[in-house]
Structure 1
Amino acid sequence: MEPTAGKPSFLRNILVRLLLFGVLFIVVRFAYVVTIAGESCNVGNFCFFSLPENLNFVIAGPGTGNSAIAVNKAIVSSTAVPTQRELYTSKDWIKAVNFFSSIFQDLMSQGYLLPESKSLCVETPNGQDVFALKEIGVKDSVGTFKKASKPLVVSGEAHRLPFDDNTFDFVFSGGGRLDKSSRALDFATEIARTLKPEGFAVVHVSAKDTYSFNSFLALFNCCNLLTSRDIDGFDSSMPHIREMVLKKEYDIHGHGVYQPRDDSGNKCSVPGYKQELVRKAEPLIAEEPLKPWITLKRNIQKIKYLPSMADISFKRRYVYVDVGARSYGSSIGSWFKKQYPKHNKTFEVYAIEADKTFHEQYKVKKGVTLLPYAAWVRNETLSFEINRDPGEQVTEKGRGMGRIQPLTSKGGNSGGRFDGEVDEILGFDFANWLKNTVTERDFVVMKMDVEGTEFELIPRLYETGAICLIDEIFLECHYNRWQRCCPGQRSSKYEKTYGQCLDLFTSLRQSGVLVHQWW
């Protein structure tokens, strides 16, 4: 009888299948580690294609000679995907490492960074700054980014860092990353939170003007600015950089915890850097125009908007307040949304409008909060003038702008008389609302068209200190427009003169408030 070959073939098939299963397992594990977990490949991760331990690359140093920088197997490994290996040996990556090495060596020479400093680099996708720290001897260094690239970079977003309070001696944010953040205050707060008291934070930003410079400092009101200098960047995306060195101070309890400044006081003075913007603004119209509705409309083309004169990047949030908004298309939709230079910032919009004729349309407008009241100097019931021809149906198009008066003034002194239909509405303390809604760290734009009530509201903003919370005002001042063109056709609706309006604008600008004549 011939020998049977079935059993060896069966065993061979089993061995082949086991081998194939093992290879498949290793491939799947490798793909998970590199592409999903975002980690470097090593033996513990079932990757068996690592480069030798002593593999070195020669990287050109910032000086005249070359410096040999040993690139650890855990950083550059042949087991990494080819694009990752190419990244760590690319000219751009090496150039960035040299740039950061030079920066950190300067900071070391000034005593802001020590070899034993526990250091953090925030928002570093490729870890060049972390590698540069390690290369100059700061071994206890780590970076964060939304996707990890271990061992240099761990997962963590700038507005929610995965570290305890008071962890690091040195925190660095380069590349203008704070400029580009949509949550600048949260970014700065996390740097301050994780930094130890008397630790140093170094931030590279593109603050080119005094407005943005002071806006940046307001984000770090737990820290003192030690030095500031302008340096050249290492790529075309940010050719010029301002380097800020800040030191975290202890709070009054000695904990070194980030403490926001109290903005609740009534006294304020508009800072000098805002007064600089006023001097750059378009001139006021000194002489009363013969046809104001034409002249003021043309003047809008000459307006120098604040975001066109200064960088508004370093603000906590962005707010537009339309006082006397009327319909959505009256100014929010037709002007602010289309013409105001928002620089890709998302604004919270508040529409303050007492006339209930316009309220319904705001229910379907996303991003707009309606306050269905009249802006006033205190909380009380007011008389509201309904401007329309007798017998005319109350519609949005037929609705005129209405004046308001306290109930006690109805039918009282001159200027307090209403000629048309009157309704009762609720008024609220606008200045107090503003102080409870925004802070000095917000960017606040206001348009005010309140049918003469500006002569009460503006002094109230000064009295409460709320005027300092507004960055830019577009104000329509109401006066008797018939006085110059048609002296015999005086209207009792407005008692103020153009000269009184001009005084109001002038006093605002002399106080450092950037105000524009509106119509």
Structure 2
Amino acid sequence: MEPAVGKPSFFRNIMVRVLLFGVFIIVVRFAYIVTITGESCNRGDFCFFSLPENLNFVIAGAGPGASAIVGSDSVSRSNPRRDLYTSKDWIKAVNFFSSVFQDLMSEGYLLPNSKSLCVETPGGQEVFALKEIGVGDSIGIFKKASKPLVISGEGHRIPFRNNTFDFIFSGGARFDKSVRSSAFASEITRTLKPEGFLVFHVKAKDTYSFNSFLGLFDSCELEKMRHIDGFDSSLPYIREIIMKKKSEILGHGDKISGGDSGNECSIQEHKRDLIRNAEPLITDEPLKPWITLKRNIQNIKYLPSMVDISFRGRYVYVDVGARSYGSSIGSWFRKKYPKQNRTFDVYAIEADRTFNEEYRLKKKVTLLPYAAWIRNETLSFEVNHDPNHPGLEDVKDKGRGMGRIQPKKSSGNVVDGEVDEIQGFDFAEWLKKTVTEKDFVVMKMDVEGTEFDLIPRLFETGAICLIDEIFLECHYNRWQRCCPGQRSTKYEKTYGQCLDLFTSLRESGVLVHQWW
């Protein structure tokens, strides 16, 4: 008689299925805890992968007692959770930061009793390295928590009170990627104690970006800067910047000051160095300016094509004499200016009321429907319909000519074009209230001759120091396209005076381009 095997096989299949289902439940629960909530795994979380409380794996070269598992003495006595970090990249990062912190400790910037914060640390390597070299009171913040090393928080919104930390570190060049650099810097200095130390690892590849970075921290002083090798291929070369928070904050570095009037400013030397790399000015007056100046646009070296503009508070474009949106904002700045993936606040200054309605439909542009001027007063705005005006043949703005402002005329005066009464405003003072030296400011100015009033006013008030790059169209009695041998009578200035204006700007350290 054959033995009966059907019933045991049936029960065996049921047990196998139950076991597999149980394993599936455990795996799903583990994935939820670790991946979704950002927590470590322990028995209380219904996770069977927890390790004994006293289990430690030593990481070679990470410092005395370094371990891959954070023990109760090395991380947190109040939180029993343990994280297992065994990847080669994580261990390599711990080794790197341990070496960095040991150097800082030997130089006195970091002490064993320093209350320390690591900003934007997704894996907590920096925090782990600090604890393993003896800085026990350390914590990290990142958008997604990884307890107990890292809690939830972001660089531009740090969840700690003022003057909390003795030492703050931001590594991995993560500051470079911040789109809120000004808020990032403000929060870091807010939570640092007076005379506490900030240490950053940033790319800051050029002098311009380095000085821009320092400019964000007006309440701190530079202690030391050195170049170091990064710990992976994505960061082969970085700058280590060490700063100390001032014991007393006497003022704000973003204010223009100096001299008896309080309006003078000095443009930093690194901005003057950029002039040497800019395209040369056209020294000889062109016989066909409508061709020469237009072609010169192809030679212009934009500032963002020469330097890194990452470390600025805001990014601002001011179009003075904007005319229609498509005249330069839409057709040139939006499409061609190299913005390095930064979002710019755009201001359009245009006195011609014809274009007001168009700008109301542009949500990302702020229109100032006034005339940029040297003071606040009522002006006359004349729209000239001269077909011989160079460049007018390209204008398709409802047949409008080029508008220019002038002091208000008496009723007895006769003018060639259409005249409106408009309000002029002190452009230099408006600029000083709108932007700071921490911001990256680009300006295009096409004001039909008023540049000879506005530029001196910018120097007089010190507002010129707030501008990083200017695209300036200078108006003079140029040769006319229609009539060879004849000059325009619309403007009294000569090409030589325009050249002097450009030269004075560049000699003062302002990156200005001859625009069309």
Range class of TM-score, shorter chain: 0.7 to 0.9
Q: Deviations over 1:281-340 (max 9, x none)?
A: 110000001111111111111111111111111100000000000111111111111111
Conserved in 1, the CA contact under 8 Å of 2:62 and 2:129? no
The corresponding residue for 1:69 is: 67
Shift in alpha-carbon separation, 1:420–1:46, aligned structure 2, 3 A: same
Distance 2:56 2:220 in 1: 41
Amino acid corresponding to residue 69 of structure 1 in structure 2: S
Distance 1:73 1:111 in 2: 27
Shift of 1:238: 1.7
Matches within 5 A, 1:442-453: 442-453=439-450
Shift of 1:210: 1.6
Conserved in 1, the CA contact under 8 Å of 2:347 and 2:367? yes
Distance 1:31 1:92 in 2: 21
Distance 1:350 1:252 in 2: 32
The corresponding residue for 1:17 is: none
Q: Deviations over 1:54-90 (max 9, x none)?
A: 3332423279xx98635226899xx999xx85xx211
Matches within 5 A, 1:84-103: 85=84, 88-103=85-100
The corresponding residue for 2:362 is: 365
Amino acid corresponding to residue 38 of structure 1 in structure 2: G
Shift of 1:47: 3.7
Shift of 1:488: 5.2
Shift of 1:26: 8.6
Shift in alpha-carbon separation, 1:409–1:475, aligned structure 2, 3 A: farther
Shift in alpha-carbon separation, 1:108–1:235, aligned structure 2, 3 A: same
Distance 2:264 2:52 in 1: 68
Amino acid corresponding to residue 406 of structure 1 in structure 2: P
SS of aligned partner of 2:325: coil
SS of aligned partner of 2:151: strand
The corresponding residue for 1:16 is: none
The corresponding residue for 1:3 is: none
Shift of 1:45: 3.7
The corresponding residue for 1:155 is: 152
SS of aligned partner of 2:105: helix
Conserved in 2, the CA contact under 8 Å of 1:121 and 1:172? yes
Matches within 5 A, 1:9-24: none
Unaligned regions of 5+ residues in structure 1, if any? 1-21
Shift in alpha-carbon separation, 1:410–1:144, aligned structure 2, 3 A: farther
* Residues 1:262 and 2:255 aligned together: yes
Calculate percent identity across the aligned residue pairs: 76
Matches within 5 A, 1:292-307: 292-307=289-304
Distance 2:215 2:316 in 1: 17
Conserved in 2, the CA contact under 8 Å of 1:185 and 1:315? yes
Question: Which moves more between the two structures, 50-59 or 212-221?
Answer: 50-59
Amino acid corresponding to residue 289 of structure 1 in structure 2: P
Q: Deviations over 1:429-463 (max 9, x none)?
A: 11111011000000000000000000001011011
Distance 2:136 2:280 in 1: 58
Conserved in 2, the CA contact under 8 Å of 1:158 and 1:190? yes
Distance 1:130 1:370 in 2: 48
Matches within 5 A, 1:70-469: 71-72=69-70, 85=84, 88-252=85-249, 261-263=254-256, 265-388=262-385, 396-408=397-409, 418-469=415-466
Amino acid corresponding to residue 141 of structure 1 in structure 2: S
Amino acid corresponding to residue 444 of structure 1 in structure 2: V
SS of aligned partner of 1:126: coil
SS of aligned partner of 2:122: coil
Conserved in 1, the CA contact under 8 Å of 2:385 and 2:402? no
Unaligned regions of 5+ residues in structure 2, if any? 1-21, 388-394
Distance 1:410 1:274 in 2: 48
Distance 2:231 2:502 in 1: 46
Conserved in 2, the CA contact under 8 Å of 1:316 and 1:443? yes
Shift of 1:486: 5.5
The corresponding residue for 1:39 is: 39
Conserved in 1, the CA contact under 8 Å of 2:441 and 2:469? yes
Distance 1:362 1:175 in 2: 42
Distance 1:69 1:497 in 2: 75
Amino acid corresponding to residue 377 of structure 1 in structure 2: I
Amino acid corresponding to residue 197 of structure 1 in structure 2: P
Distance 1:358 1:333 in 2: 14
Distance 1:120 1:133 in 2: 10
Among 497, 502, 505, the alignment partner of 2:499 is: 502
Amino acid corresponding to residue 292 of structure 1 in structure 2: P
Conserved in 2, the CA contact under 8 Å of 1:290 and 1:485? no
SS of aligned partner of 1:482: coil
Conserved in 1, the CA contact under 8 Å of 2:219 and 2:249? no
Distance 2:237 2:343 in 1: 26
Shift of 1:46: 4.3
Shift in alpha-carbon separation, 1:335–1:419, aligned structure 2, 3 A: same
Distance 1:148 1:221 in 2: 30
Distance 2:62 2:52 in 1: 27
Conserved in 2, the CA contact under 8 Å of 1:381 and 1:425? yes
Shift of 1:112: 0.5
Distance 1:259 1:436 in 2: 14
Distance 1:372 1:183 in 2: 30
Shift of 1:499: 0.6
Distance 1:479 1:513 in 2: 21
Distance 2:147 2:428 in 1: 51
Aligned residues: 481
Conserved in 1, the CA contact under 8 Å of 2:98 and 2:129? yes
Shift of 1:487: 7.0
Conserved in 2, the CA contact under 8 Å of 1:60 and 1:67? no
Distance 2:295 2:341 in 1: 26
Conserved in 2, the CA contact under 8 Å of 1:38 and 1:149? yes
Shift of 1:481: 1.0
* Residues 1:471 and 2:464 aligned together: no
Conserved in 2, the CA contact under 8 Å of 1:357 and 1:395? no
Distance 2:450 2:369 in 1: 17
Distance 2:233 2:92 in 1: 13
Shift of 1:495: 0.9
Conserved in 1, the CA contact under 8 Å of 2:59 and 2:68? no
Conserved in 1, the CA contact under 8 Å of 2:263 and 2:461? yes
TM-score by length of 1: 0.86
